[in-house]
Chain A
Amino acid sequence: MTATRTATTQHTSSAAPSSSFTGTATLVRFLLRRDRIKLPAWTAGFAVFMLYLATAIPAVYETEADLQGATQLFHDPVGRMLTGPGYGFDTPTLEGFVANGYGLYFMLLSALMSILLVSRHTRVEEQTGRAELVRANVVGRHAALTAVLVVALVTNLAAAAAVFVMMVAVGGFGAAGSAVFAAAIAAIGVAFAGVATITAQLTEYSRAASGMAGAVLGAAFVLRAGGDMAAEGGNALSWTSPLAWGQQTAPFVLDRWWPLLLPIALAVGAATVGYVLAAHRDVGASLFTVRPGRQRAAPSLGTPLGLALRLQRASIIGWTVALAITGLVFGAFTDALIDALGDMPEAFVELFGGTEDMIAGYLSYMAVFMAYLVAAYAILAVVSLRSEETTGRGEPVLATPVSRWTWLGSNVAVTVGGIVVLSGVTGAANGLGAAIVTGDTSYVWELTAAGLNHIPAVLVVLSVAVLLFGVLPRAIQATWVIVGYGVVVGTFGPLLELPDAAYEVSPFEHAAEMPLEAFSLQPLVALTAIALVAAGVGMLAFRQRGINVA
């Protein structure tokens, strides 16, 4: 508040010579004021993440041997794919394990934070027309972009400082290595701020701009995943990825500073391109022209089912791709598990049903773990149907000769279809991953069946969401409790030595644990019957209630 007041009384325009950067300082303060919650929250998030690691890792891996066992998982090719080049995993130290095992995720976060920050203050502002309001004042052509980049730099430095403090003060890690680690996080963040500066110039829509920058980040992840998996310490492929540049500093192992010149060069280069592009276009315009969509609706879009399918299509495709990749990776972990069997902490062995049939136990757990994720999809599908209602998009549809029964029924039918596809595909991907690393192709069929086996449990979750949608729509998010409870019981139940009754309540605990156990039809029939009743009651209640009232 004070910042704005001082700025207006300064009469900058008459006092100082005007340049294309006039007003930058005021805009920086303005942005900091607008983001006064968001930026401290991000910084605090970084601090808490490191605080958690610095306290939890020593607590979980009490002995040298425990740490060695955990490092084993990260050291293997699949582990390297998910974590990084694997520096210092031969002779693991606590700080080396934290920095080189989890560093990738700090960098992903700082990159994401920077992309969202730049997008929010450039393209969103233009899209909403607020940028015009600012530019109509005594503000230079480059002032807005410069202010955003300054704020991005400051925020990344703040996040890095928070991480550094936690490492040194809480973890008691060495200052030199902690400094390299923190600097790498900031450098990667700033590099992606530069990338977002370019993408913000390319399209008229902030979502597309963030999406493009996000795609660059995704590509960076995949490139380094390939390179790091292929060779310990990464290979030439890794070095094409900005994320790898941060990891190649190898904190606490090599403590190299020079790889950070690369992300800094990228940030400067990308920002320069951003300035040039911005100077060559009008406010609100973009370099890519907007592609017009269909003038007329396709014949499929004209029935309630067609509409439901169209609205859920993108979500089903996205979930299928994401879960297929996850399934493939978890399946591919099977081999590493066989190797690491002896060194595993006790907790893992318990979770996967003891040492005798560990592989089948692991894959059975993965099948039910995937069912938790499919259940999350099911809940989100019903939640988004609720938001169709509350945003007012459902109302005009229900004002046509589409009955409530048909509207809700079509949407639920599409979601059921999505559940079947997701369960089958993730099961198959899980099996494919296991088959690739073990050479045993029978896993593909076994795990597809194991995936499909959990469909009735997911249908129970879906039906509870539908029940709440009909009876008490504002409580629809309560459905998450079932999934949360299922995860806790299914994952920690053996450790907590829970009574049988605790398992009975979770819908995920009734189907046979395939491939560990043989298929059993009876529990599936019971689960499906429960789902049908709950969904039926929900649909009947929906016919009786008002639309868009709490």
Chain B
Amino acid sequence: MSEQTPAISIQGLQKSFGKTRALDGLDLHVEGGEVHGFLGPNGAGKTTTLRILLGLLRADGGHARLLGGDPWSDAVDLHRRLAFVPGDVELWPNLTGGEAIDLFARLRGNLDHARRDELCERFDLDPSKKGRTYSKGNRQKVALISALASDVELLLLDEPTAGLDPLMEAVFQDCIREIKAAGCTVLLSSHVLAQVEVLADRISIIRQGAIVEAGTLSELRHLTRTTVTAETADPADRLSGLPGVHDLQATNGRIRFEVDGEHLDPVVRELASLGVRGLTAHPPTLEQLLLRHYGDELAARTDTSAEAQP
């Protein structure tokens, strides 16, 4: 793929189902060759976005381009170049997992038998079982193996590891790194934050049908606070007066506080002067990033419900 064409380019996407507004001016930009995390809670509009990109739904407004084509009118041609793993994989009860894997790959037109067998081995899937006997995790594996065994430019994954155990999740992560190294673009939708953190080059956070943050993990971290826990020789009360320090708690010579990214340097200098005996500092997790967005929303909801009750 040429460097100029982005894999996915969406501006101002709108989609409503009846009165429910699923997408409300969504912008999403995914460069070719990157693993892009598409992060948000259930019902935020992730699946709707993916279904529009697959030409299964028609957008009400806005622009969407996929691999340089129109997701609705060029659907069939685009589908030759991508593979999709739905969040809730349903299989035909009377077809085996192996048959389903082969079917999807053949419909895509590019099944690599050796790769398929290798993936079955790695994901520890018995392809001879009928669809109705598979657990959720195993159904997910069937769809994943089928997608990964196809030689495509773009993978659209909708919560692909929802039913997988940690061991299989590690296998999944290895596979994603491999196909990324081979030049494949991945859009990884998830509410499992740790997974996105590990794999994604860039992240877009969606909330109520619109992107609220987008960037690399470090860019997003820049926006938020580092948590510091320290044990000091001298009392650390005066730290609380410094700009950018929040929620300072001190117990028996141990302190814990959060500090804004841009004020980190002066606070750490001040801390050093107190005689540090032990120190841990960790960057914000994506939970904290999300909590900031949904925390607002929660607060707003509490307000409105308070207003609603006279």
A546 within 8 A of B: yes
Cα(A293)–Cα(B100), bound, Å: 12
| Chain B residues, CB < 8 A from A393 | 90-92
Interface residue ranges of B43-79 to A (CB < 8 Å): 51, 54-58, 75-77, 79
Which residue from A297, A310, A314 sits with its C-beta under 8 Å from B98? A297
Shortest distance in angstroms between B134's beta carbon and chain A's nearest beta carbon? 12
A403–B99 CB distance below 8 A: no
* B57-A396 in contact (CB<8A): no
B143 at the A/B interface (Cβ < 8 Å)? yes
A391-B107 contact, Cβ under 8 Å, with A292-B128, A400-B79, A546-B57: no
Q: Note all chain B residues with C-beta closer than 8 A to A548.
A: 56
Q: Which of A190-210 contact B (CB under 8 A)?
A: 204-205
**A-contacting 9-mer, from B80-88, B233-241, B266-274, B291-299:** B80-88
Closest A residue to B94 by CB, please name it: A314
Chain A residues 532-550 with CB under 8 Å of chain B are 544, 546-549
A399 within 8 Å of B by Cβ?
A: yes
**Chain A window 304-345, contacts with chain B (Cβ cutoff 8 Å), 1 for yes, 0 for no:** 100100110010000000000000000000000000000000
Chain A residue nearest to B99 (CB atoms) is: A297
| Chain A positions 279 through 311: 1 when the CB is less than 8 Å from some CB of chain B, otherwise 0 | 000000000001011111110011110010011
Interface membership of B279, Cβ < 8 A: no
Complex CA distance for A302 and B102, rounded to whole angstroms = 7
Q: Which of A470-521 contact B (CB under 8 A)?
A: none
How far is it, in angstroms, between the C-alpha of A546 and the C-alpha of B77 when the chains are bound? 18
Q: What residues of B have a CB within 8 angstroms of the CB of A310 in the complex?
A: 95
Distance between Cα atoms of A397 and B103 in the complex (Å): 9
Determine the distance from Cα of A296 to Cα of B99 in the docked complex, in whole angstroms: 5
Question: Which residues on B sit within 8 Å (CB–CB) of A304?
Answer: 107
Interface centre among A204, A403, A546, A549 (most CB of B within 10 A): A546
Asked if residues A546 and B58 are in contact (CB atoms below 8 Å), the reply is yes
A303, B101: Cα distance in complex, Å: 13
A50-84 with Cβ < 8 A to chain B: none
Judge if A347 is at the interface, Cβ distance under 8 Å: no
Cross-chain contact A296 with B56 (CB below 8 angstroms): no
> Which secondary structure characterizes the binding site on chain B?
mixed
**A392, B107: Cα distance in complex, Å:** 17
Q: Using known A-B contacts A295-B128, A400-B104, determine if residue A311 contacts B98 with beta carbons closer than 8 Å.
A: no
Residue contact B54 to A399, C-beta cutoff 8 Å: yes
Are B128 and A293 in touch, CB under 8 angstroms?
yes
Residues on A with C-beta less than 8 A from B75 are 403
Question: Does A222 interact with chain B (Cβ within 8 Å)?
Answer: no
- Which of B55, B90, B94 contacts A392 (CB under 8 A)? B90
Q: B103 near A307 (CB under 8 angstroms)?
A: yes
**Residue B189 at the A interface, CB < 8 A?**
no
Q: Is A439 an interface residue (CB 8 A)?
A: no
A window 366-418: CB within 8 A of B: 391-393, 395-403
B residues less than 8 Å from A401 (CB atoms): 76-77, 79-80, 107-109
Q: In the bound complex, how far is the Cα of B96 from the Cα of A546, in angstroms? A: 29
User: Which listed residue (A301, A302, A395) contacts B86, Cβ 8 A?
Assistant: A395
B80 CB, min distance to chain A CBs, angstroms: 4
Do A302 and B51 touch across chains, with their CB atoms under 8 A apart?
Answer: no
Also in contact, A397 and B56, with CB within 8 A (given A314-B94, A392-B88, A403-B76): no
Q: How far is the CB of B46 from chain A (nearest CB, A)?
A: 15
A303, B104: Cα distance in complex, Å: 9
The answer to whether A290 and B56 touch across the interface, beta carbons within 8 angstroms, is: no
Contact A294 B96 (CB under 8 A): yes
B136 beta carbon closer than 8 Å to chain A: no
Given contacts A294-B128, A546-B56, contact A301 B99 (CB under 8 A): yes
Nearest-CB residue, chain A, relative to B108: A400
Do B92 and A302 have beta carbons less than 8 Å apart? no
Considering the chains assembled together, what is the distance between the CA atoms of A548 and B86 in angstroms? 13
Q: Is A295 a contact partner of B127 (Cβ separation < 8 A)? A: yes
Residue of B whose beta carbon sits closest to that of A293: B96
A311 to B128, CA, bound (A): 18
Please give, as numbers and ranges, the residues of chain A lying within 8 Å of B99 by CB-CB distance. 293-294, 296-298, 301
Q: Which of A293, A295, A396 contacts B130 (CB 8 A)?
A: A293
Q: Is the Cβ of B96 less than 8 Å from the Cβ of A295? A: yes
Complex Cα distance, B80 from A401, in Å, reads 5
Chain B, 140-152, contact with A by CB distance < 8 Å: what is the 0/1 string? 0001000000000
Contact at B51–A547, with CB atoms within 8 Å? yes
Contact status A396-B128, CB under 8 Å: no
Considering the complex, which residues of chain B in the window 119-146 have a beta carbon less than 8 Å from any beta carbon of chain A?
126-130, 132-133, 143
Contact of B301 with A by CB under 8 A: no
Q: Using Cβ atoms and an 8 Å threshold, which residues of chain A touch B108?
A: 400-401
Minimum C-beta distance from B303 to chain A (A): 33
Neighbour of A402 across the interface among B76, B86, B90, CB < 8 A: B76
Bound-state Cα–Cα, A382 to B14, Å: 32
Do residues A397 and B107 form an inter-chain contact, with CB atoms below 8 A?
Answer: yes
Q: Smallest Cβ distance from B127 to chain A, in angstroms?
A: 5
With the chains together, A395 CA to B50 CA distance in Å? 11
Q: Is the CB of A396 within 8 A of B84?
A: yes
Contact: B102 with A297, CB < 8 Å? yes
Across the interface, which residues of A come within 8 angstroms of B127, CB to CB? 295-296
Q: A301-B102, A400-B104 are in contact. Are A292 and B129 (CB under 8 A)?
A: yes
Q: Write the chain A residue with the least CB distance to B100.
A: A297
Q: How far is the CB of B8 from chain A (nearest CB, A)?
A: 15
A129 CB to nearest chain B CB (Å): 10
CA distance A204 to B132 in the complex (A): 12
Q: What is the distance, in angstroms, from A89's C-beta to the closest C-beta of chain B?
A: 45
Using Cβ atoms and an 8 Å threshold, which residues of chain A touch B96? 292-295
A385: shortest Cβ distance to chain B, in Å?
Answer: 13
Could you give, for residues 26-55 of chain B, a 1 whenever the CB lies within 8 Å of some chain A CB and a 0 otherwise?
000000000000000000000000010011
Chain B, Cβ-Cβ closest to A207:
B132
A-B pairs, 5 with minimum CB distance = A302-B106, A297-B102, A292-B128, A293-B96, A400-B107
- Known contacts A392-B89, A401-B107; 5 additional CB pairs below 8 A are A302-B102, A392-B90, A399-B54, A401-B77, A403-B75
25 A-B pairs with C-beta separation under 8 A: A204-B133, A205-B133, A292-B96, A293-B95, A293-B96, A293-B99, A293-B128, A293-B129, A294-B98, A295-B98, A296-B98, A296-B127, A297-B101, A301-B99, A301-B106, A302-B102, A314-B94, A395-B56, A399-B82, A399-B84, A400-B79, A401-B77, A402-B107, A547-B51, A548-B56
Residues on A lying within 8 angstroms of B by beta carbon are: 204-205, 290, 292-298, 301-304, 307, 310-311, 314, 391-393, 395-403, 544, 546-549
Q: What residues make up the interface of B, taking CB atoms closer than 8 Å to A?
A: 17, 51, 54-58, 75-77, 79-80, 82-84, 86, 88-92, 94-96, 98-104, 106-109, 126-130, 132-133, 143, 156
